Amino acid sequence: MRVVVGITGGIAAYKAVSVVRAFVLAGHSVQVVATDAALRFVGKPTLEAISRNPVYTELYEGVAEVRHVAIGQSADLIVVAPATANFIAQLAGGFAADLLGNTILASRAPLVIAPAMHTEMWQNAATQANIATLTGRGVTIVGPAVGQLTGSDAGPGRMSEPEDIVAAALAVVDSPGDLAGRRILVTAGGTREPLDPVRFIGNRSSGKQGVAIALAALARGAAVTLIGANLEIDVPDTISVQNVSTTAELAAAVSATAADAAVVIMAAAVADYRPESVAPSKIKKESQGDTLNLTLVKNPDILHDVSATKRADQLVVGFAAETETDPDTLLALGRAKIARKGCDFLVINSVGWTTGFATDGNDVRILNATGDIVGEASGSKRDVANRILDVLL
């Protein structure tokens, strides 16, 4: 396999030597593309000796062979380790200011990046938005890990260990295609119930977990249909998306498509109630006084209805987002829910002001129909997605 290892300018660049060496020892042909800043941390002779190939850095070298696109076109896999905050921002913006940027833009190969930076930079809203953008495009993010950083500080931002990066990268291209021929329906996001043309009752779900499941299933060979309720994340064109807003619209879309699916995964956060009536114009506080009284009516129970009408050879997966923090009580809530809903599996996760919704990570337990724990996962939502699919298989 032809592997391009991109190296950007961070202190963790010295670890990239071990990444290159691991790919070479596994029998792969490795081409290193380093930025000028990367070579301030690790020398070109070292990288050439380990990779057994010339190291390219300059955009305007090798013009006759159109090197700035040829490397990317011939790659089977591209891994960038370390990926600095600056590089991540450039990648999210589609910039091609150097040879590495051109190589990536000119390639259709799977892209894996291993972020490395100080905690404050990793947690900065701009970096997190860029990571969300890249994840939505199907880029695999490995790490960062939590640990000692360059100075005396410690926290999230440390580059993952080389063996973990290589294993994750090889898993992307060595996916067994174990869902080939299966049609999977995934719902994602959060439904919104309008009060008037301006306001709505909703929830804080961004759709990240549902989209991660859809992308993971697609990578494993499934034919995926995604029903998105007010998604706050970009979805690659490789996935067919049907956009809905209200619970009623979601119910209708699921009813129309579920029959053809081998697996229905209900990851969307659904509003349990909706206003009995919707005001035709904006509700004015001047006309309401100090209080606004709303009458809410129960919405359709989509998960229950799909479970009740499913085929014998069909799997239905529900989600339970709970604010309960006690693990035993959380588990009891999940067992009660799967008994009520009648689905085959239930994914339980704890949510709160800063956990679960709109974050890049998740921590879940998976129950089967009898309430037994058959899987657990913690980490990125893509990792959680693959663990859920493993359990289903």
Element (H, E) at 362: strand 361-368
Cα separation, 182 vs 234, whole angstroms? 24
> Do the beta carbons of residue 389 and residue 221 sit within 8 Å?
no
The single-letter DSSP state of residue 155 is E
Residue 24 CB partners (closer than 8 Å, separation 6+): 30, 50, 51, 52
203 among known catalytic residues: yes
Written as six digits, the tokens of 232 are: 């706050």
Looking from the CA of 264 toward its CB, the CA atoms found within 13 Å total 29
**143 touches 115 (CB < 8 A):** yes
Q: Which of 130, 203, 362, 386 is catalytic?
A: 203
Taking the chain, what is the end-to-end CA distance rounded to the nearest angstrom?
28
Whole-number Å distance between alpha carbons of 59 and 100: 8
Which residue, 209, 128, 140, 131, is CA-closest to 384? 209
Helix (H) or strand (E) holding 24: helix 13-25
Q: Is 317 helix (H, G, I), strand (E, B) or coil?
A: strand
Residue 79 makes CB contacts below 8 A (sequence gap 6+) with: 3, 4, 5, 6, 19, 23, 111, 112, 113, 114, 165, 166, 169
Residues 6+ apart with CB under 8 A from 282: 196, 197, 198, 199
CB 99 within 8 A of CB 59: yes
For residues 24 and 18, the answer to whether their CB atoms sit within 8 Å is: no
Residues identified as active-site = 203
